Amino acid sequence: MVLILGRRLNREDSGTRDSPAVKRKVFEVDSKTLTGNEVLEFSSGSSHSEAILQVFNEFRDSRLFTDVVISVQGREFPCHRAVLSACSSYFRAMFCNDHRESREMLVEINGILAEAMDSFLSYVYTGRAKITTDNVQFLFETSSLFQISTLRDACAKFLEDQLDPCNCLGIQRFADAHALKQLASRCRSYALANFPDVAQHEEFLDLRRDELEEYICSDELAIGKEEVVFEAVMRWVYHSVEPRRPVLKDLLHHVRLPLLHPNYFVQTVEGDQIIQTAPECYQLLHEARRYHVLGNEMMSPRTRPRRSTGYSEVIVVVGGCERVGGFNLPYTECYDPVTGEWKALAKLPEFTKSEYAVCALRNDILVSGGRINGRDVWMYNSQLNLWIRVASLNKGRWRHKMGVLLGKVYAVGGYDGQSRLSSVECYDSFSNRWTEVAPMKEAVSSPAVSSCAGKLFVIGGGPDDNTCSDKVQCYDPEEDTWALRASIPIAKRCITAVSLNNLIYVSGGLTKSIFCYDPAEDYWMHVVHTFSKQVMMTSAMVLGDFHFNFRAAMR
């Protein structure tokens, strides 16, 4: 039987029934009146695709229209080639090219779990997947194999949300193995931020040497004190002593042993059984001992505090005056170059003098002398944010300088109101006493003073009110003697010297230049032109007579 669909003719049309060429019209529309709304674009939206997927899933469950069976671990999954190919380029390549699998009804896939395949197919046919801590790893690997990026990314995001001190290292290793850079970076940041807790879990003990080094060498390691890092390293070593003992030195190279508390260092570090039998580590221990005695004189990568400890290297400005000839100021402030912030410290007590000397001793600051013939010496304790009066100078002086050499402070030269001084005093903080040492060969005030290569150098200065010196006087603490070295190319007072990498750099005074001195070669060289003479003079006075730049680890 044939069903013909059409419309019934009116009687008026019956007269034309015999005319085969008659054109039928339901209604007539004047083309001049068309507005462009005569076409309706209709879309049922995502509900249409969801409904079709639902039907296909029902077909899969009832094995209706299925044309391939995927076998995983002996479990069979009836599927539709078209659906698999539409979702996965892996299956598209398998079924659409001239592969053997494109013609076979049963396709076996190895290397994945049946449970993961079941979850994967559920996602393919429904667009939904149940990701759990039990199946996320296998589901990720399955979706990666079949090149379903959306499901793979969802698994990676799930792992990121599950980060915990007990699993972050394992997840990072998984992320590295699958080139998940974002997840690996997130894991590393989490482990750095929670290192004290992470180090207590079993995953930490299974780290490879290079993985452990990557963490403990980082400035971003979030710890309250460096003792945490040392204990983590030793726990890792003791977990498997024999194979790990040979790498102890390399690991301790990244532990900032000088920043350990001295009591902890002596009792715990030096008392450790493995360290005592590791002579290759003695140099690192010696470095820490020297730092406990010499402080910032002894610099190395291990003397720089980690940012998270609450310590940072800062520049401290002490005193000064509000204007030329104005009131002397008791203020002490520090500047953090990392944060760009200034912070007020404890005021200098009972101190209205000017032209005093300032220096840094270990992590403290000393201020001595001052106009007129001041003998008082104050020490700023950075841990307590407190100024403490210590032993007074034997001879009052101002326009002098102080330098630190081998853990002791030297007050050099100056003026007593009548003449320039050649006398030098040495301060031992452990005995809290100033003692006279050999005098300089030439009495000067306002020189530049710096320690370098185990010697103390006094550069330039003023022998009297009208002249400046170009002499370089070198003090040997072992021989308690002074010797003249190569003269500086300029004769200046109110200059400033700093030591860096066994060289001495001098600037300030009425000069535009910076000069560099090599003590080993006894040779001066011109480094660079700087600012105007006026600016350089101001800088010299700020750094030399009234203020002092001090870099130390402070809370």
Structural domain contains residue 19? no
Same domain, 532 and 410: yes
pLDDT at 35 over 90: no
Structural domain contains residue 200? no
What is the mean predicted confidence (pLDDT) over 343-363?
Answer: 87
pLDDT at 330 over 90: no
Distance CA(115)–CA(52), nearest Å, equals 25
Same domain, 279 and 341: no
Structural domain contains residue 436? yes
What is the mean predicted confidence (pLDDT) over 136-141?
Answer: 91
Least confident window among 217-226, 335-344, 473-482 = 335-344
pLDDT at 347 over 70: yes
pLDDT at 174: 92
Each residue of 370-409: pLDDT tens digit?
A: 988 889 999 999 889 999 999 999 999 999 999 999 999 9
Least confident window among 246-250, 336-340, 452-456, 541-545 = 541-545
Same domain, 261 and 315: no
- Token pair listed for 72: 């995983």
pLDDT at 9 over 70: no
Considering only CA atoms, which of 283, 305, 307 is closest in space to residue 220? 307
pLDDT above 90 as % of the chain: 55
Distance CA(114)–CA(131), nearest Å, equals 15
Same domain, 409 and 484: yes
Same domain, 429 and 501: yes
pLDDT at 540: 31
Same domain, 115 and 232: no
Write down which residue in 120, 142, 162 finishes a domain. 162
Least confident window among 275-279, 493-497, 541-545 = 541-545
Distance CA(173)–CA(304), nearest Å, equals 30
pLDDT at 531: 55
pLDDT at 530 over 80: no
DSSP state of 337: T
pLDDT at 169 over 90: yes
Structural domain contains residue 167? no
pLDDT at 308: 84
pLDDT at 447 over 90: yes
What is the mean predicted confidence (pLDDT) over 246-264?
Answer: 95
Query: Between residues 345 and 552, which one has the greater pLDDT?
Result: 345
pLDDT at 413: 95
Distance CA(348)–CA(355), nearest Å, equals 14
Same domain, 324 and 468: yes
Residues 6+ apart with CB under 8 A from 534: none
Distance CA(266)–CA(125), nearest Å, equals 66
- The count of domains in the chain is 3
What is the mean predicted confidence (pLDDT) over 265-274?
Answer: 95
Question: Do 173 and 206 contact (CB within 8 A), yes or no?
Answer: no
Average pLDDT of the residues of the chain: 85
In this prediction, residue 363 has a pLDDT band, given cuts at 50, 70 and 90, of confident
pLDDT at 54: 82
Domain boundaries, position 68: 50-162
Same domain, 299 and 418: no
Structural domain contains residue 26? no
pLDDT above 70 as % of the chain: 87
Q: What is the CATH number of the domain that holds 544?
A: 2.120.10.80
pLDDT at 30: 61
Each residue of 68-89: pLDDT tens digit?
A: 899 999 899 999 988 998 888 8
Write down which residue in 162, 190, 207 finishes a domain. 162
488 SS3 class: coil
φ, ψ at 253 (rounded to 5°): -60, -25
Same domain, 282 and 342: no
Same domain, 270 and 256: yes
Each residue of 188-233: pLDDT tens digit?
A: 999 999 999 999 999 999 999 999 999 999 999 999 999 999 999 9
Structural domain contains residue 178? no
Question: Do 394 and 436 contact (CB within 8 A), yes or no?
Answer: yes
Same domain, 513 and 451: yes
Structural domain contains residue 207? no
Same domain, 320 and 298: no
pLDDT at 27: 53
pLDDT at 48: 77
Write down which residue in 253, 277, 308 finishes a domain. 308
Structural domain contains residue 88? yes
Pairing of strands 106-108, 68-72: parallel
Residues 6+ apart with CB under 8 A from 504: 450, 452, 457, 459, 497, 498, 516, 517, 519
What is the mean predicted confidence (pLDDT) over 499-511?
Answer: 86
